[in-house]
Structure 1
Amino acid sequence: MRAPFMIAVFFTCILCISTASRATTVDHHEFEAWLEAPFHADAHGDRTLALHFSSPDPQPGDTLRWRLALLAPDGRTVRSWRGAHPMAEPVHDVTLRWRAPTTLRHGIYQLRLRASAGASPAVEQAWSVMVGKSPTPAASLLAPTAVDALPYAVYLGNLHSQTKHSDGGGALDHCTGAQAPQSAALGPADAYAYALQHGLDFLMTSEHNHMYDGSDGTNAAADPAAAKALYRSGLQAAAAWNQAHPGFVALYGQEWGVINHGGHLNILNSEELLGWERNALGELIADTESPKGDYASLYRLMRERGWLGQFNHPQDDQFAILGKPLAWNADGDQAMVLCEVMNSGAFSTSSDETETHLSNYEAACNKLLEAGYHVAFSSDQDNHCANWGASYSNRTGVLVPPGAPLDGAALLAALRERRVFATMDKNARLILTANGHLMGARFVNRGKLTLQASYASTSGHGAVAVAIFHGIPGRNGTVAALGTKARSVVKPAAGEHFYYARVTQDDGKMLWSAPIWVSQRGRNRARQSIELR
């Protein structure tokens, strides 16, 4: 079947539709779309763009609609493709052969994919591509001295994975998707050992809170005592591992919620199993009741307990309060510290960091920031197969005072302070400062604000693009790029602001700093002005 879309003279388009099925559990029956876009063209100036669409439960009459836009460095749309056809099979792949016209200016462009199927909410993905020759980055961005001189040690790990305690832990030789809950062989201790062997400094095993009954639905015969004991055994496994392996942090916790009409979030430090399911006797299959889909109540509980949270693979229709998706409230603002800006494929079996199914959630994270959340970016793998931290080269980086040992308390303190960056390259570092304040900080400012992004790579890569982004907490508007220099001097308007940096390497991999939040004081009520240096 050929999808209807316009073909420009410099494109050759081939539509390829595959119908391979994937093993999934009920909680993973969401529509997905992702894009494979080579950062560099081949020797002939061509590149192949692969668009992937997955809808595990397509309904009769469902239509897949997608649009791929090429955005210039200034954000203008310079070319687009689109398609619409029946979503009759669970998986559809579209292949486009593209050659950039010689009339396009050289630089870093973005390919942005937006897609939906049937009644599913739209999914947005965006990745950078190089057109022509690499631009010359600012020298200040390439100088690693600012990173090396930080009064912090950098540690890298993965804060999102599953084991046999829920729907993960599948051996790589036969893992094809999410496992039936509690059916796999490999548990938390196996995951920590694997992550340590593969160079990670920390790993969180985040088990689905509603699968402790051994079901992805509700098990009417479930024994609440057994479910609670299983959760305690995971906490004990992490504590035993930390005691025996100083310098590596094993975290055990839960991924709360469901994706459909909900949204997953990790609770990083809860000693209580939360749940909403009851067995046939009416017994709660958890330590503490937490109503399904009630994020306001969950945030209140998290704040009261001092628990920290991470928004996992956020989408526009998730985390609703009183019917409003991505809704802010004060309890959530205190509890939620991270937002996953990118993920590698949850069901990857790659163990050499070569996974190609990569998802980008910067657009949804920006909406959470604009809503008012004080969250830093994280980069995780959502491993369900037994390749914890090894499916791709992405990591979440945390900054810990060098005199402090790396342990659970130090890691959680860094997350609470948002001393975090997200990277697709485990060998690269990115920090952002504002008038000397480190990313993650909140401070009052008067007069000019000097923003400085500093990047370093230990593997010989260089940065070819940097962007400083600006937004206003509580505005619920659009985050916009201020400029493309590593050092920016701005004169903010009076009020609240946040800023963060994004760097693109010469191989296309990206890094995101944590935001900095600024309360601007003074009489300057004009629109923010900027000087680029």
Structure 2
Amino acid sequence: MQDQEESIRVRAYRNGAWADSLLLDRARLACKPRLAAAPDGTLWVSWARAEAGGLVLVVTPIVNGQPGPQEIIADGPSANWQHDVVCDQAGRLWLAWEHMNRDTAQVRFSVRENGRWSPPRPVFAAAHRQMRPALAVGQKGEIWCAWDGYLGNYNYDIFLRRLDRASPVWNLTNSATLEQCPALSVGAGNRLWLAWQSNADATGKPDIPRWLALRQWDGKTLRAPAAAMPDRNLLATGMLQSWESPELLASRRGALWLFGRPSQEFSAQAFLGDRWSRRQDFALPGWGGRGEFVRAAEAQDGTIWTVRRDIALIELCAFPALAEAAAKPKLQIAPEQPAPASPAAAVAAAKWQMTAEAREFLIAPAEQKLVFGDLHQHSNLSDGMGTVDDCYTRSRDFYGWDFAALTDHEWFVRNRILPSEWEYIARITAGFHAPPDFVTLHAYEWTAARWPNGPGHKNVYFPDEAQPILSVADSSANLTPKLFARLRETGAMAVPHHIGWTGVDWQHHDPQTQPNVEIVSVHGAFEYLGNEPITHRGGIPGMFMQDGLARGLRFGVLGASDGHGLIWHHGIGRKRDPWVQGLAGVWIEGELTRESLFAALQARRVYATSGVRILLHFSADGHAQGSEYESAAPPRLAVRVAGTAKIRYVYLLRDNQVIHQHGGDFGVGDMVRFEFKDEQAAAGTHWYYVRVVQEDGEMAWSSPIWITRKE
């Protein structure tokens, strides 16, 4: 990328030396290049390019080191990308891709024969979302295509069919778990091998850790290696967890090379027929800075060459040829139960609804509605695990949240979100936006240096998907005042988070652009230094919620997971599940839309919980939390709490000091309601807020109300 444009380049590596690169394309978006070698020595290069409001696929041949004419495979104004390309023994070029409309995606394919491309056709005429196709050529000219499809209830399955003839479509995994990102390779004996990532635990039930699976398909039966995969550890709680994003290569000596992406670095492992090699890491150590996949190819001498994006560079890595051929594969029937695929639409998940009893208890205004969501999540586009669409299928269909946002780091370990990646996030975010049932926000994490060297981290939320990313690596948005000036132009907002760990620049706080602060997440609770019963990561004096309020700043409070897909968040989190360690409750007006959600966030009609649906309504003289008003009379404060477990304490605080405590050592049940008239408040401005502590340790905090008491 250069000057906000992406380019496609090809560079040859021969005899230990690099040739000059060939520039094939340069555009606002030019991404996802793939290579295919033809029998006549032609190298075909394909990629996606922005054009006419969508993305088209571009294919060009390279002959004798020179690029030929570009051929465009366009399929309407939609986004056509996430593709794969192969060349068969007859020189025909096969292309399969993800054809993405606003609210769905379908895998399509086309074949180039005698210099002409066939009209694009669907691989599977199904109503559910289809993604991430992979292709492989059999030794008899078979063209295999695999992809993953979303069937609802956070269930992804792997599908397979042949493209070179009429073929049934198989659902190979046919389970209630998550199987994604298939990879294909054809090995000795014309055996078709597949790999994918799965969140199945040791008993086959869905879980959080993911691992790569290797299978062989003979047209009727799915088989797995008989030898157990060493180093497969679904219970790891440290910084190195899971293994996803597979690349698969069947070598000429019979080994099955499997490459993937753990929570850090990249790793390789080989299946040798009767045993596995040990898994080895071969990337630069440390957080982030990586692409999504490794790509691999075998040289004539048996060397396995891999290429990957790592720490802002393209890294080439060689694995020497094996000293001896692999043994004949020893296989057993796989645990999956393949079945003919169904074209049915995805099953809609049941939605959480507040009961009439709870609403009557809370005495909320008739025009207001309480919704919950997680506005801080990460994927494999930065330093998290899982795909971009995972964020929304998980939030909507597994946890039942009403709204969500993916907030990947835009600049982390010298690795930035590329324009095409930002476009992909935007299109996925738009595709899952379906008010009033589910609302998505287009967002990212502005990742500045920690305090005192920088202002810390802030999530940025846009009202639509049309805005460019504002990177801390760009001089126009590298400081908080510059960022805020740009955000005001678009009506966007920022939310600082894990403030007591990485800090926050209180001196630049702007209640319009930064109306809220995230105070609880996987990193702990940041109400005050030494917070209890939920503790916090780090501990910078002056960088907690109460410190900001004591400075006279005005902001609401949010909870969010800041989940990266790691159990126990590599030993930092207080729960095994990283996605339920922070949650935002928002009192919207009217139906749930982006506009009503943004309005409530701006008005600070929000509160934070530690990851559960604690119901909380706090008002003062009829003014909602987040309000500011003046009063000559002592304020009357009303608190309503319905817990998810027995409530131990409900605290009412004025100016960071407890002025009323409801509850005690024996708790007060799971519903609390009281009013308090503050006769002791002196003249001047005071802030009031509520803290809730349940017996199970879960907590909630209201946003403050600021009251100026007149004489």
| Separation in structure 2 between the aligned mates of residue 298 and residue 275 of structure 1, nearest angstrom | 9
In 2: Cα distance, 1:201 partner to 1:510 partner? 20
Q: 240, 243, 248: which one pairs with 2:431?
A: 240
Corresponding residue for residue 130 of structure 2: none
Q: Is the CA contact 1:255–1:267 (under 8 Å) kept in the aligned structure 2?
A: yes
Contact 1:498/1:515 (<8 A) preserved: yes
1:77-116 equivalence runs, <5 A: none
Question: Which one of the candidate residues 590, 602, 611 is aligned to 1:416?
Answer: 602
- Residues of 2 paired with 1:505 and 1:462: CA distance? 6
Q: What is the identity, as a one-letter code, of the residue corresponding to 1:265?
A: K
**Partner of residue 587, structure 2:** 399
Partner residue in 1 for 2:514: 336
Matched letter for residue 147 of structure 1: L
Structure 2, unmatched stretches of 5+, are 1-236, 242-262, 265-285, 288-356, 525-533, 570-576, 663-673
Q: How does 1:67-466 map to 2 (within 5 A)?
A: 145-151=360-366, 152-170=368-386, 186-187=387-388, 189-198=389-398, 199-211=400-412, 216-217=413-414, 227-243=418-434, 246-260=436-450, 261-262=453-454, 263-269=456-462, 271-277=467-473, 289-291=476-478, 294-315=479-500, 318-320=503-505, 326-329=506-509, 332-344=510-522, 364-385=544-565, 391-392=579-580, 394-401=582-589, 404-424=590-610, 426-457=612-643, 459=644, 461-466=645-650
User: Is the contact made by 1:343 and 1:360 (CA closer than 8 Å) also made in structure 2?
Assistant: no
C-alpha displacement of 1:276: 4.1
Q: TM (normalized to structure 2)?
A: 0.42
CA shift in 2, pair 1:210/1:253, >3 Å: same
Distance in 2 (alpha carbons) for counterparts of 1:344 and 1:259: 20
Aligned amino acid, residue 309 of structure 1? A
Secondary structure of 2:414 counterpart:
coil
**So what's the TM-score if we normalise by structure 1?**
0.55
Bigger-Rg structure (1/2): 2
**Conserved 8 A contact 1:463-1:505:** yes
Match of 1:505 in 2: 694
Q: Distance in 1 between matches of 2:401 and 2:438?
A: 8
Q: Which amino acid aligns with 1:207?
A: D
Higher RCO, 1 vs 2 (CA within 8 Å, ≥6 residues apart): 1
| RMSD, aligned α-carbons | 3.5
SS at match of 1:274: coil
Q: Indicate the structure with greater strand content.
A: 2
**2 CA distance for matches of 1:343 and 1:382?**
6
- The answer (yes or no) to whether the contact 1:328–1:372 under 8 Å persists in 2 is no
Structure 1: how far apart are the matches of 2:538 and 2:613? 20
* 1:441 positional shift: 1.1
Cα pair distance change 1:335/1:206, threshold 3 Å: same
User: What is residue 470 of structure 1 aligned with on the other side?
Assistant: 654
**Rounded Cα–Cα distance in structure 1 between residues aligned with 2:440 and 2:709:** 40
Q: How many residues align?
A: 326
CA contact under 8 A between 1:336 and 1:374: conserved in structure 2?
no
* Structure 1 residue identity aligned to 2:384: G
CA-CA distance at 1:377 after TM superposition:
1.5
Q: In the alignment, is the contact (CA less than 8 A) between 2:476 and 2:482 conserved in 1?
A: no
Alpha-carbon deviation of 1:258? 2.9
Supply the AA of the counterpart residue of 1:252.
Answer: H
**2:44 corresponds to which residue?**
none
Check 1:203–1:432 CA distance in 2 against 1; reply closer, same or farther (3 A cut): same
Q: Which residue of the partner structure matches residue 22 of structure 1?
A: 239
State whether residues 302 and 335 of structure 1, in contact with CA within 8 Å, keep that contact through their aligned partners in structure 2.
yes
Deviation at 1:423, TM superposition (A): 1.6
Q: Secondary structure at the match of 1:192?
A: helix
Q: Which amino acid aligns with 1:464?
A: R
Flag the 1:143–1:196 CA change in 2: closer, same or farther, 3 A: closer
SS at match of 1:163: coil
- C-alpha separation in 2, matches of 1:442 and 1:252: 29
Residue 360 (structure 1) shift: 9.9
Structure 1 residue 144: deviation in Å?
Answer: 7.0
- The secondary structure found in structure 1 opposite 2:411 is helix
Deviation at 1:149, TM superposition (A): 4.0
Residues 242 and 248 in structure 1, CA contact (< 8 A), matched pair in contact too: yes
Amino acid in the other structure paired with 1:482: I
Following superposition, the deviation at residue 489 of structure 1 comes to 1.5
Taking structure 1 as reference, are residues 505 and 155 closer, same or farther at Cα in structure 2, changes over 3 Å only? Answer: same
What is the aligned-residue identity percentage? Answer: 23
Distance in 1 separating the partners of 2:436 and 2:595: 13
